[in-house]
Amino acid sequence: MVSNTSALGRNGVHEWLLVRSSAILIFLYIMYLAGFILFSESLTYELWRSFFSNSIMKVFTMLTLLSILVHTWIGMWQILTDYIKTLSLRLLLQLAIATVLIAYLLYGTVIVWGV
């Protein structure tokens, strides 16, 4: 049996649900932003800043950022386990990806809550 020590989910169904639900949330966020852009008369810095300073928008943005990171981690984990057979190289690449994703999370949090 294959161990899932570096996978995010407990099993394939759990990971499948995480990927699909994160994709839906990302899609809804994109549609919400597209609607805001399309139905705004003019996009100014003040309008854009006030749009992102709303607490609901901050939470929605953070949930979307987390969804992007989960979606990326599961996808990259699956690619690495399928194509990189050398365990040490695969773990090194997973460490590099995890480090970048954590940096994105920290930087994104500072940006979103700094508005």
C-alpha to C-alpha distance for 18 and 114, rounded to whole angstroms: 28
Asked, for residue 27, whether it belongs to a domain, the answer is yes
Task: With both helix axes pointing from N to C terminus, report the angle between 12-39 and 55-83 in degrees, rounded to the nearest 10.
Answer: 140
Domain count for the chain, please give it: 1
Domain region containing 95: 12-113
Instruction: Say which CATH number the domain at 86 has.
Output: 1.20.1300.10
Asked, for residue 5, whether it belongs to a domain, the answer is no
- pLDDT of residue 9 exceeding 80, the answer is no
**Binning pLDDT at 50, 70 and 90, where does residue 1 land?**
very low
Asked, for residue 4, whether it belongs to a domain, the answer is no
Asked, for residue 2, whether it belongs to a domain, the answer is no
Give how far Cα 52 sits from Cα of 40, 77, 115, Å: 14, 32, 7
What digits encode the pLDDT tens for the residues 17-34?
999 999 999 999 999 999
